[in-house]
Amino acid sequence: MKYLVMVQGAQADYEAMKGKATAQSPAWSEQDLQAMFAFMSAINDDLAESGELVDAQGLVEPARTRFVTVDKEGKPVVTDGPYGETKELLAGYWVLDCESLERVTEIAARVARCPQPAGAPEYPVVIRQIDERPESELFTT
């Protein structure tokens, strides 16, 4: 089964990782960043070695996000970041091919133990199973 494992973050977290303390998070040091990158690299290496890693990516800061909707006439309405009203957005993800929900939960728990400075916000690691049913079965009961 394939799963999407997601980590969240806010613009304030990205600012903190650039060394700028915010009300939500202390400034990260170079040592803090290196510890996080080493931790995540070790997870990726282990998942690649086990054959469970399909893809993994970190995403750019929310300020570089774009929302696209349509107006009443069907014309695109584009809103660029930053988004003060948006608290958390997707910060990165893994697509994993695991034998069970229990296994992917073990991996998510490992991700949740990522080192960070004291006082930094903690976000849940989100697991969603990828729906691999054939299109003909997606909306049948």
Is the bond preceding 82 in cis, omega lying within 30 degrees of 0?
Answer: yes
> What pTM was computed for the model?
0.86
Whole-angstrom distance, CA of residue 100 vs CA of residue 19: 39
Whole-angstrom distance, CA of residue 53 vs CA of residue 2: 10
Whole-angstrom distance, CA of residue 7 vs CA of residue 118: 18
Q: Are 105 and 3 within 8 A, CB to CB?
A: no
Whole-angstrom distance, CA of residue 97 vs CA of residue 139: 24
Helix (H), strand (E) at residue 51: none
**pLDDT tens, the chain, 141 aa long:** 999 999 999 999 999 999 999 888 899 999 999 999 999 999 999 999 999 999 999 999 988 888 899 999 999 999 876 655 557 789 999 999 999 999 999 999 999 999 999 999 999 999 999 998 888 777 776
